């Protein structure tokens, strides 16, 4: 159950300071309550039965331990775990061996979630290290460019001085023998040609360095943008987890949810089939409705205009959707005045980050 539901249960039982207990102490109180057989334990049982009433009705159809196990496997494969977990372990046909099996599977899922979060943090830190290294390379390139430009300016000044000296020499040697004049002029011309060749080589090297610096700047900007998006997605998921919801929102806390969809309808085009159930559950628990189109794999693209017309916001993961589906989504949104928003990846974190601005919806002209 959510933190708000647990706190409300303790308030009903008259627990002192129930509204101000820390989440850790609140958790401890609920765990102690679960081990009691008095009225508090019964209230907790009823609260969980009401919350997972739909799943309990589905599991009531099972009459044997194997039937309960089969239903649990189906819900586990779809990622619909909390309600199925409660319905399975409280089912009359569930024996101790099945309880241990179900508990072990949920326990290992908690490890997988922790590993995923740690992997995201490691990738973020690696991005920060790569960005710092690129900053150092860009600074070194800029310093080298300035040095080459200074060398070029010095050579150009030297060339102008040589030209002036040659003109003065030619005027001063006007009365000297022709052979001596030719030798001096030839020596000066040779020196001038050498300096000009050096200056041309420096100009070519400078052009190469400028191109490399421009490319590095573009890559740095792209890397910075990717890091900012990754940080925003991670922050959105961490805020949701810190809020005590863990992907679910009860009636008591829906109004205060920063991602509350308030009866809006979302259309998700493309993505991975195994993730759609989690996205639909996320939208439903926040008062919204999620429609889905697989982008033309099995669903016909002719269905897209009708789905777009029913939606307040259309989303599609850019890494997991066809170009044809994206082009049709854009055309339909421009025709109907709907808003579309590209999503960086097909993950839940990217989806959460994408729906955060729902309350300040943008116009079609502002779509990317």
pLDDT digits (tens, 9 = 90+) for 247-285: 444 444 444 455 678 889 999 999 998 889 889 998 998
Higher pLDDT, residue 59 or 361: 59
Same domain membership, residue 234 and residue 271: no
Q: Quick one: 52 and 7 in the same domain?
A: yes
- The pLDDT of residue 268 is 95
Instruction: Tell me the sheet residues that pair with 291.
Output: 267
Give pTM, 2 decimals: 0.39
- In this prediction, residue 18 has a pLDDT band, given cuts at 50, 70 and 90, of confident
pLDDT of residue 141: 87
pLDDT-based confidence at residue 196 (cuts at 50, 70, 90): confident
In a domain, 280, yes or no: yes
Task: Please tell me the distance from the alpha carbon of residue 339 to that of residue 364, in angstroms, as a whole number.
Answer: 5
Q: Which domain holds residue 220?
A: 124-242
In-domain check, residue 250: no
317 strand-pairing partners:
343
Percent of the chain with pLDDT over 70: 83
In this structure, is residue 113 part of a structural domain? no
Q: What is the pLDDT of residues 114-158, one digit of tens each?
A: 666 666 667 777 887 888 888 889 888 888 898 888 888 888 888
With CA atoms as reference, report the closest residue to 356 among 299, 315, 297: 315
Q: Which of 73, 94, 115 is the last residue of a domain?
A: 94
Instruction: Name which of 81, 22, 15, 68 is nearest 43 in CA terms.
Output: 15
Q: What is the pLDDT of residue 184?
A: 73
Domain final residue, candidates 181, 210, 242: 242
* Calpha distance 361→368 (Å, rounded): 14
Question: How far apart are alpha carbons 1 and 248 in whole angstroms?
Answer: 9
Distance separating alpha carbons of residues 368 and 362, to the nearest angstrom: 11
Q: Is residue 104 part of a domain?
A: no
Check which CATH number belongs to the domain holding 330 and give it.
Answer: 3.40.50.10140
Sign of CA dihedral 326, 328, 329, 331: positive
C-alpha to C-alpha distances, 102 to 54, 99, 130, 189, nearest whole angstrom: 19, 5, 42, 92
3-state secondary structure of 54: helix
Identify whether the C-beta of residue 328 lies closer than 8 Å to the C-beta of residue 300: no
Tell me, yes or no, whether 135 and 238 share the same domain: yes
Pair (136, 63) in one structural domain: no
Q: Is residue 105 part of a domain?
A: no
Place of tokens 């000009």: 196
Between 359 and 325, name the one with better pLDDT. 325
Domain co-membership, 128 together with 223: yes
Can you tell me the distance from the alpha carbon of 245 to that of 250, in angstroms, rounded to the nearest whole number? 8
For residue 127, what are its two tokens?
A: 């991005």
Are residues 156 and 46 located together in one domain of the fold?
no
Q: Looking at the structure, do residues 135 and 41 belong to the same domain, yes or no?
A: no
Residue 227 domain-assigned (yes or no): yes
pLDDT surpassing 60 at residue 24: yes
Contact yes or no for 81/109 (Cβ under 8 A) = yes
- Looking at the structure, tell me whether residues 86 and 147 fall in a common domain: no
- Residue 305 falls inside a structural domain: yes
- Considering the domain architecture, whether residues 184 and 140 belong to the same structural domain is answered as yes
Domains in the chain, number: 3
pLDDT computed for residue 178 by the predictor: 57
Q: Do 233 and 132 have their domain in common? A: yes
The candidate with the shortest Cα–Cα distance to 326, out of 276, 273, 284, 367, is 367
Q: What is the pLDDT of residue 358?
A: 54
- What does the pLDDT look like over 75-88, one tens digit per residue? 988 888 999 999 99
Please check whether residues 10 and 54 belong to one and the same domain. yes
225 with 131, same domain: the answer is yes
Tell me if 118 is assigned to some domain: no
Domain boundary among the residues 94, 116, 139 is at 94
Q: What's the confidence (pLDDT) of residue 309?
A: 93
Q: Listing from the earlier edge strand, what are the strands of the sheet with 265-269?
A: 289-293, 265-269, 313-317, 339-343
What is the structure's pLDDT at 248?
45
- What is the spatial distance between Cα 76 and Cα 97, in angstroms, rounded to a whole number? 18
290 backbone dihedrals φ, ψ, rounded to 5°: -115, 120
Distance CA 23, CA 5 (A): 12
């Amino acid at each position: 159950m959510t933190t708000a539901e647990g706190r409300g249960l303790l308030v009903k039982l008259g627990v002192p300071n129930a509204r101000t207990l820390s989440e850790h102490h609140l958790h401890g109180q609920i765990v102690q309550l679960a081990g009691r057989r008095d009225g508090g334990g019964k209230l907790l049982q009823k609260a969980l039965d009401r919350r997972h009433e739909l799943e309990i009705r589905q599991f009531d159809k099972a009459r044997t331990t194997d039937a309960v196990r089969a239903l649990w496997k189906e819900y586990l494969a779809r990622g619909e775990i909390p309600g199925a977990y409660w319905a399975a372990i409280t089912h009359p046909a569930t024996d101790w061996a099945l309880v241990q099996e179900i508990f072990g599977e949920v326990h290992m899922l908690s490890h997988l979630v922790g590993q995923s979060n740690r992997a995201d943090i490691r990738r973020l830190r690696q991005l920060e290290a790569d960005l710092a290294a690129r900053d150092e390379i860009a600074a070194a390139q800029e310093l080298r460019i300035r040095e080459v430009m200074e060398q070029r300016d010095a050579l150009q000044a030297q060339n102008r001085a040589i030209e002036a000296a040659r003109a003065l020499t030619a005027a001063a040697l006007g009365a000297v023998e022709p052979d001596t004049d030719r030798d001096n002029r030839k020596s000066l011309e040779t020196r001038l040609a050498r300096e000009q060749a050096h200056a041309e080589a420096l100009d070519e090297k400078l052009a190469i360095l400028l191109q490399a610096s421009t490319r590095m700047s573009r890559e740095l900007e792209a890397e910075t943008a990717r890091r900012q998006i990754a940080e925003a997605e991670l922050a959105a998921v961490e805020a949701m987890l810190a809020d005590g919801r863990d992907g679910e929102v009860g009636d008591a806390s829906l109004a205060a949810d920063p991602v509350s969809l308030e009866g809006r309808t979302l259309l998700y085009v493309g993505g991975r089939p195994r993730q759609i159930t989690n996205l639909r559950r996320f939208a439903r628990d926040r008062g919204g409705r999620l429609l889905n189109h697989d982008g033309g794999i099995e669903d016909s693209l002719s269905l897209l205009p009708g789905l777009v017309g029913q939606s307040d916001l259309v989303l599609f993961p850019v890494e997991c959707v066809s170009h044809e589906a994206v082009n049709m989504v854009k055309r339909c949104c421009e025709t109907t005045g709907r808003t579309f928003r590209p999503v960086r990846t097909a993950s839940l974190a990217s989806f959460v980050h994408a729906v955060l601005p729902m309350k300040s919806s943008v116009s079609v002209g502002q779509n990317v």
